Chain A
């Protein structure tokens, strides 16, 4: 057989794969008629295939299906949440918006640094801001992380954040607010924002 060309063996495989051309098939048949070695090779290949094909069909062991079902991941929450997200895009958008909103507000939340609105006739003594008796402050006063004592007059709103507001005989023409909690602070910010918003329309 060693004298036979390699392409004869290639044709055998093409034949076995069922995609041999008519031309090759005729060449192969002609060759097999004259060459007993190749005939034997061909026969062995066919026997090999028959041998493998005689393998019995194997079935899965009993309860295979149940075992697979038990192995499936139970917690489908992940999928559930994804699905919920996909079904309620507006709620998701609103939630994301709120998240960013509150993040901005909280970043505005006063740190423990002391600050006060600069007004010409205020007296600052450490962390205490005093409106001296007999003086009139024109404009709003905001004190953060400090106390405010009013002995004189304020012609505007007064806001004290994280501090105490002390006034006995004072005159404040605007509103007085004392804020010392996060929620109140948020509420204040929101009202403030709403007021600004309304102001836009008023103008």
Chain B
């Protein structure tokens, strides 16, 4: 597969834009999955996954073809996801009064993103529940857990994707596992 990818990359670099569609087709599901697991929202995941491919296309000339393309691509995607998560902090004030209402503020408009009541969680379907528990993890643990157990990548690859030492990856995975264990036990 790497040989095919490198061939397509060379074609794209020569100016054949259509050769890029094969690359997108090969990696779209994995990349979308990473984004969806990180962000927990379909629209955002689609937007960020597309953006990751566009950035990969624009910066393709800086990709070192001796390395693994997927690692490079996932790195672009995880960086975009982490940026998006950090920017998600509200850009409006929740206690500002909603126009046209009396005494209604934004708190009354949103569903609480904090912990859901126990009964609700227990009624969730398994898949829904998994995503819910993943999204409750702090993002530094979330990224390693997603890459390790959902993408099934090696620790070495994760350390390259996230650009951090292997030791840090291990520590985060250990803590992430413990955090998840506690979340699941609390119910």
Segment 51-69 of A: residues with Cβ below 8 Å from B: 51-61, 64-65, 67-69
A51 to B24: give the CA distance in the assembly, Å: 30
The smallest C-beta distance from A45 to any residue of chain B, in angstroms, reads: 6
Q: Which of B71-79, B82-90, B179-187 contacts A (4 or more CB under 8 A)?
A: B179-187
* Contact (Cβ within 8 A) B32 A60: yes
Specify which chain A residues have a CB less than 8 angstroms from the CB of B69 in the assembled complex: none
A17 to B148: give the CA distance in the assembly, Å: 10
A76 to B155: give the CA distance in the assembly, Å: 38
* Contact (Cβ within 8 A) B36 A58: yes
Specify which chain A residues have a CB less than 8 angstroms from the CB of B51 in the assembled complex: 71
The smallest C-beta distance from B68 to any residue of chain A, in angstroms, reads: 21
Interface centre among A10, A48, A73 (most CB of B within 10 A): A48
The smallest C-beta distance from A58 to any residue of chain B, in angstroms, reads: 4
How many interface contacts (CB-CB < 8 Å) are there between A and B?
A: 103
Specify which chain A residues have a CB less than 8 angstroms from the CB of B54 in the assembled complex: 68, 71-73
User: Per DSSP, are chain B's interface residues mostly helix, strand or loop, or mixed?
Assistant: helix
Which one of B15, B20, B133 contacts A72 once the chains associate, using CB atoms below 8 Å?
B20
Number of interface residues of B (CB under 8 A): 42
A53 to B180: give the CA distance in the assembly, Å: 13
Q: Which of B1-9, B96-104, B109-117, B170-178 contacts A (4 or more CB under 8 A)?
A: B170-178
**Complex A-B, nearest 3 residue pairs according to Cβ-Cβ distance, in ascending order:** A60-B32, A13-B174, A60-B28
Specify which chain A residues have a CB less than 8 angstroms from the CB of B58 in the assembled complex: 73
* Contact (Cβ within 8 A) A64 B28: yes
- For residue B127, CB closer than 8 A to chain A, the reply is yes
Can you list, as one digit per residue, whether each of B21-36 has a CB less than 8 Å from chain A (1) or not (0)?
Answer: 1001100110111001
